[in-house]
Chain A
């Protein structure tokens, strides 16, 4: 499976622009890592349940009540661009 790894395609899925040098370097390095990961195929896991969390807790609820949250000005303080109490983004709809 490591053979059909297309670094350019997956990098775009991950929304990361790569330079041609990065594409070449990461492509080779990741193919090497994927080759190593293939060793998991040695194991028969057909009857094993997956573990998502080592210490699973279920139904962790808090009281459903209104509480103070981060003030608007503080939430925007780290924004690269903001105006009128909102985040500024490039135009999405023509």
Chain B
């Protein structure tokens, strides 16, 4: 089945003309038809447009243009990234029938690389959540067990890749929104260093933390997608002017002598026993492969969730001020402009988005700015310094991605603080601006649910992370296990 292939496998078959891009795209559409009624990874997709792009790719292949790394590869997109002419809702009601007037830079880059860009993947509204339960378009289900959440906020991206509804996908990660769902659905999720990938055309949640990244079936595919979307962009002043290395070339298996840091602060009480055991086995495995394990300390770990929920909500309250019912999206009329704003935003935003905007407005408000926002920014400095100190001694840090496997739909829906604490291992990475990857490292016994291993790397240390992840993956079999048809 072509939809089950990796990018590398599909590209090889396309290059040899064994199959067409149309057949590959059709296989993904057939899989969506077959399983997405139960998974609900997609909010919408335009089959005719996807097949037209596939035909264009087939014509390019016939002309011999096979050097493009993603030529004819179906890649699906989280509903927070603008694709010209397609709906953009961010999992929210407030955007109404919004159609993107332009492409995000990552979309232009994917298209330059030859990809078939299709579909709008479900997500927590405005990327706020860890379960994809906060979507105005309904809940996404985990392909391994449809009574469970797929993680979030990029739950649609993770579920679509895990259920072979696409070959790869894009998501965004503000506090773990790529890595945590990748872990819970059993795929590879990569969050690049802040500034590595342009945010132009990504709807902003927390601008100093947001970063676009990839979901793929293995590390080799991750390197291909990352290479295609990375690079400085004049339209994003925070994108960093550094050349993009050949990430695929980094996958050489040479990890002997690399140092992996094991942070004692990550051995927390709430860690699920099976998750903890799987990660310990993975650490031993890295040792066998020649990596050196070094105990390190990240002393301010315990403050990361608190600092994050101040910084992220403060930035969100400012960014989401633009959804006011004037220039686009939903409008609920009022007696005067203020009344219109209040009614529009009251009707258009869901509960979690309202909570976070209110919290953000509060921590920025007169008299509280220093006590909350400024203090959180200072704690952010301490957290970043913890990592920079650690990276003076080690090449990467190894942790579980999520303290538990996928939980049941509804289990944490009424307790936002418990939901926030499920991001404990992923949040520091965004505050520090470093890169991180989650990859499969085992399964729970009953029910069988994926467990994710997280590697955190130095700023612009993507190559080292990919090298380590690839060496681990190629000497284990976890990534070969597919969720199959739920």
Interface residues of A (CB under 8 A from B): 1, 5, 7, 10-19, 22, 25-26, 29-30, 32-34, 36-37, 39-43, 45, 48-55, 57, 60, 62, 70, 74-75, 77-81, 87, 89-92
B237 within 8 A of A: yes
* Contact across chains for A80 and B365 when beta carbons are under 8 A apart: no
B residues 318-366 touching A (CB-CB < 8 Å) = 321, 324-331, 333-338, 340-343, 345-347, 349, 351, 354-355, 357-362, 365
Chain B contacts of A18 at CB under 8 A?
346, 354
With contacts A17-B346, A18-B346 taken as known, whether A26 is within 8 angstroms of B358 at the C-beta atoms is yes
B220 at the interface (CB under 8 A from A): no
Nearest residue, chain A, Cβ from B334: A90
Q: Is the CB of B372 within 8 A of A37?
A: yes
* C-alpha spacing A5/B303, complex, angstroms: 22
Q: Is the CB of A89 within 8 A of B381?
A: no
Bound CA–CA A79/B223 (angstroms): 40
Given contacts A49-B378, A62-B234, contact A87 B193 (CB under 8 A): no
The complex places the Cα of A44 from the Cα of B347 at a distance, in Å, of: 41
The 7 nearest A-B residue pairs measured at CB: A54-B433, A17-B346, A50-B377, A80-B331, A78-B328, A45-B378, A17-B342
Q: What would 8 A/B residue contacts be, using CB atoms closer than 8 Å?
A: A22-B354, A34-B362, A36-B305, A43-B300, A48-B379, A51-B381, A54-B433, A78-B97
Closest Cβ of chain A to B94, distance in Å, is: 11
Is B144 an interface position by the 8 A CB rule?
no
Please tell me if the beta carbons of A32 and B417 are within 8 angstroms of each other in the complex. yes
- On whether the beta carbons of B362 and A48 are closer than 8 Å, the reply is no
Name the contact of A29 in the complex, choosing from B98, B300, B416 (C-beta under 8 A): B416
Chain A residues whose C-beta falls within 8 Å of the C-beta of B376 in the assembled complex:
40
Choice from A26, A48, A75 contacting B101 with Cβ under 8 Å: A75
Question: What is the predominant secondary structure among interface residues of chain A facing chain B?
Answer: loop
- Residues of B within 8 A of A (CB-CB), count: 77
User: Among the interface residues A16, A50, A89, which one has the most CB atoms of the partner chain B within 10 A?
Assistant: A16
CB atoms of A90 and B459 under 8 A apart:
no
Question: Is B337 a contact partner of A92 (Cβ separation < 8 A)?
Answer: yes
Interface core residue of A26, A70, A92 (most chain B CB under 10 Å): A26
A16, B345: Cβ atoms under 8 Å? yes
Question: CA separation between A17 and B358, bound complex, in Å?
Answer: 11
The answer to whether B349 touches A16, judged by C-beta atoms less than 8 angstroms apart, is yes
Known A-B contacts A16-B357, A22-B351, A90-B340; the reply to A52 vs B327 at CB < 8 A is no
Cβ of B1 under 8 Å from chain A: no
- Check A87–B380 contact: CB distance below 8 A: no
A10–B354 Cα distance when bound, in Å, is 11
Query: In the complex, are the beta carbons of B341 and A70 less than 8 A apart?
Result: no
Residues of B with C-beta under 8 A to A42: 303
Contacting pair A57 B238 (CB below 8 A): yes
> Across the interface, do A10 and B358 meet the contact criterion of CB distance under 8 Å?
yes
B190 within 8 A of A: no
Report A-chain residues with C-beta under 8 Å of the C-beta of B101: 70, 74-75, 77-78
Most chain B CB atoms below 10 A, which of A30, A41, A74, A75: A30
Q: Any chain A CB within 8 A of the CB of B91?
A: no
Say yes or no: is B278 at the interface (Cβ < 8 Å to chain A): no
A40 touching B194 in the complex, CB below 8 Å, given contacts A32-B417, A60-B237? no
Q: Which of A18, A40, A54, A79 has the most CB of B within 10 A?
A: A54
Out of B98, B237, B379, B416, name the residue touching A45 (CB < 8 Å). B379
Given contacts A43-B382, A49-B378, contact A55 B193 (CB under 8 A): yes
0 or 1 for each of B381-401: is its CB under 8 Å from A? (1 = yes): 110100000000000000000
| A89-B337 contact given A1-B368, A80-B330, CB 8 Å threshold | yes
Interface presence of B147 (CB below 8 A): no
Q: Are A87 and B208 in contact (CB under 8 A)?
A: no
- In the complex, which residues of chain B have a beta carbon less than 8 angstroms from the beta carbon of A75? 101, 327
> Is B296 an interface residue, CB under 8 A from the partner?
no
Distance to closest chain A CB from B344 (angstroms): 9
Given contacts A40-B306, A55-B194, A91-B336, 20 further A-B contacts (CB under 8 A): A14-B357, A15-B338, A15-B341, A30-B355, A33-B417, A40-B376, A43-B300, A48-B379, A50-B374, A50-B378, A50-B381, A51-B380, A52-B208, A53-B194, A54-B208, A54-B432, A55-B193, A55-B195, A57-B238, A80-B329
